Amino acid sequence: MKRFLVILLLISFPLYADFYDVVEKLYIAGNVADYASTTYILQKFPDKTEEANPFMKAIVKNPYVFAVVKTGLTYVSVKALRNVKEDNKTLATILLCVLTVGINYVACRNIKIGIKLSM
């Protein structure tokens, strides 16, 4: 399955694409996956789970508010990194890679928890 996802990822981005642009799309996709997995788990297993992030704990109770906040934070992050990219592309790329790894780790962890709870 992992190989299929890697192949799909490679096919979906043209060879001429800038590395930064590819990672930016992965960052946005990771945020969407985090939102979807978080809301799914919290709605499906409300007695067994809770939000681990203390800043988001009150926000995730309402999926619409959570969607607006998550979208806003993602937009601000992407916009800020694009501004950094104008001055220092290397720094912006490194920061974006770190954020992308972090958010995708959180999304994968959510999915793993959801699978465990479903069994």
Q: What global pTM score does this model have?
A: 0.82
pLDDT, residue 18, reads 82
Q: Which residue has the higher pLDDT, 2 or 114?
A: 114
Helix 89-118 with 63-87: angle, nearest 10 deg: 150
Nearby residues of 100 by Cβ (< 8 Å), 6 or more positions away: 23, 26, 27, 30
**Lowest mean pLDDT across 21-30, 43-52, 79-88, 95-104:** 43-52
| pLDDT tens per residue, range 11-61 | 565 555 688 998 999 999 999 999 999 999 999 998 888 888 888 888 988
pLDDT, residue 9, reads 59
